[in-house]
Amino acid sequence: MKKRTVTIASEEIPVDIVRSSRRTVALYVRPGGTLLIRAPWYVPVALLMQFVNQKSRWIERHLASLRDIAPAAAPEMITDGSVIPFMGRDITVKVTAGSRNRAILRDESLLLTLSGETSREKITAVTDAWYHQQAKAFFPRRTEELAALHRTRLPEPRRVSVRKMKRRWGTCHNNGSIWFNRELIKKEPELIDYVIIHELCHLVHHNHGREYYELLGSIIPEFRKIRQRLRK
C-alpha cells in the first residue's frame, strides 16, 4: 500500500489506497487523522486524488472530530508498584491494607488503602475512581480560569462535566455545556489547556471552519504542534 498525501486546510494528510475487485470508490476518515480510499483496480490514482480534493470540506469536518481528540488505547490493569500517568508526570501506585478504600496523592506516589482483597481489578477500580474525582475537581476550575484569561474572545460555558469517552478528548454541545474525557487528566498541562481552549472556541464557532481555526490560532499560535503531541 503506497503512501500518498493530500493537502487539506494547509496540512498534509496521509492517504492510503486499497484496491480490489469492487465497483465503486469509497472514502474513509480514520481516527488519528488519515484517509483511506477503497477503489477498483482500473481507476487511475489521479482520478482518486481528484475525488479526494472534491471532498475536502467533508474531510476537514471529519478529520477535526477524529484527529484532534482521539484518545489513546485503554490502560492495562493496575497493580501494586505500577507507574501511571497523571497530568504529565509519572506516579507510582503503592498499596496497603486498611479498613476502607482510599486514594491519596503524596509527592510522586498514589497511596491506595484497600479493605478486603487487593486484586488487580480492585486496585484498578479504586485508581479509576481517583482519576475521575481528580478530573471532576480540575476541569471546571481550569476551564473557568482559561475563559476568564481570554474573556474578550471566549465565553464561559454553561456547564463543565466529565465522563469517560472512547473517541473524544472533549465535546461541546449547542446548549453551552462542555464535556471532557476523564482520561485527559493523564496528559501534560499544556495538552489539557489545548483541549479546553479547543472546546471553548466551539462556543463561538460550532464547526471547524476557517473562522474557528483563526480564533484557535489567535489564542494558541502553535496549536498544530500541540495537537501532534496529543495524538501520540
Measured between alpha carbons, how far is 149 from 142 in angstroms, rounded to an integer? 10
Enumerate domains of the chain plus CATH numbers.
3-67 (no CATH), 83-231 (3.30.2010.10)
Measured between alpha carbons, how far is 165 from 232 in angstroms, rounded to an integer? 17
Per-residue pLDDT of the chain (232 residues; tens, 9 = 90+): 456 888 876 677 888 888 888 888 988 887 667 788 889 999 999 999 888 888 888 887 776 665 555 555 555 789 999 999 999 999 999 999 989 999 999 999 999 999 988 889 999 999 999 999 999 999 999 999 999 999 999 999 999 999 988 778 998 888 899 999 999 999 999 999 999 999 999 999 988 888 999 999 999 999 999 988 887 6
Lookup: cell for 54 = 472534491
Q: What is the CA radius of gyration of the chain?
A: 21
Lookup: cell for 12 = 498534509
Measured between alpha carbons, how far is 17 from 2 in angstroms, rounded to an integer? 7
Tell me the C-alpha to C-alpha distance, in Å, between residue 71 and each of 32, 75, 103, 126: 9, 11, 25, 21
Q: For residue 1, what pLDDT is reported?
A: 46
